[in-house]
Amino acid sequence: MATGSLTETTSFSKAPKAWRIAGQRWISPLALLLLWEAGSRSGLIPAHVLAAPSTVLRSLWSLVVSGELLANLTVSLARVLAGLAIGVAVGSALALTAGLSRLGEGLVDPPLQMLRTLPALALTPLFIVWFGIGETPKVALIALGVTFPIYLNLFNGIRGVDVKLIEAGRTLGLSHSELIREVVLPAALPSFLVGFRYALSVSVLVLVVAESINASAGLGYLINNARDYLRTDIIVVCLVLYALLGLGADNLVRVLERHALAWRPAFIK
């Protein structure tokens, strides 16, 4: 009983400290927001340079009420999801081809290593020539950006599988296909999820570039219009939404990791 009471007392004593630490993390962001608001109200920060936080909040509310924000956000999400689906499928197929075969590696890896060094901005004019100025070049740019982190991480995951696991599978009489399905792919799953996590953030970054291609809807469209009219409040709203998309994508992968990698000792509570 005494031990149990001591444990409970310790846990309660740690709780306020945890709350204090969590609260301290918000001090500097709130201080920056207050300084930003004070600088805007005093005229040190002109509205055409950077709108005040209060103005940004009012603009956010008006965009939400009018439905304009939801409509454009939906378009941007559709582009990200389409590009992500294509990029993950292509990157995974190429990684499996190169990772499971020396011949496949010789055919697939060299051109991909050359292509991945090309920046998306440099490819944008070429994609416009190939695909026009509709949705296709936007989705294609996102898919291209997603392909490389998926390929690199899954390829390294496949090639990094412990040889002892392969030998153990062969000892148990697993066929080549069973060895890939039961040993190689599960062992490479953590690397794939790392690549998927990075691919999600890349998809949001490339979306910013893609939506500069004559977009008639989406967050990039809102930013371009706001730039023409010097509406820095709307620009800040869209930038915050881009950041929240990236944060939400990262949290999504964390949830997937907890379920998909529950068999790993590091994920046992």
Listed ranges 74-88, 152-166, 222-236; the one with the highest mean pLDDT: 74-88
* Cα-trace Rg, the chain: 24
List pLDDT tens digits, range 200-217: 888 888 888 888 777 778
Q: How confident is the model at residue 18 (pLDDT cuts 50, 70, 90)?
A: low
What would the 3-class secondary structure string for 168-209 be?
A: HHHHCCCCHHHHHHHHHHHHHHHHHHHHHHHHHHHHHHHHHH
CATH class of 69-261: mainly alpha
Both tokens of residue 108? 């697939």
Q: Residues 137, 138, 140, 145: what is their CA dihedral angle, to the nearest 10 degrees?
A: 140
pLDDT surpasses 70 at 16: no
What's the mean pLDDT in 2-10?
50
pLDDT surpasses 90 at 89: yes
**Within 13 Å of residue 210, how many CA atoms lie on the same side as its CB?**
30
Q: Is the dihedral of CA 235, 75, 88, 123 positive or negative?
A: negative
Both tokens of residue 22? 């969590």
How far does CA 173 lie from the centroid of its chain? 40
Q: Residues 219, 238, 252, 113: what is their CA dihedral angle, to the nearest 10 degrees?
A: 70
Between 10-14, 65-69, 189-193, 227-231, the lowest mean confidence (pLDDT) is in: 10-14
Per-residue confidence (pLDDT) for residue 20, from 0 to 100: 63
CA distance 249 to 268: 23
Residue 85 or residue 6, greater confidence: 85
% the chain with pLDDT above 90: 10
Per-residue confidence (pLDDT) for residue 14, from 0 to 100: 54
Q: Tell me the pTM.
A: 0.75
Residue 71 and residue 217 in contact, taking contact as beta carbons nearer than 8 Å: yes
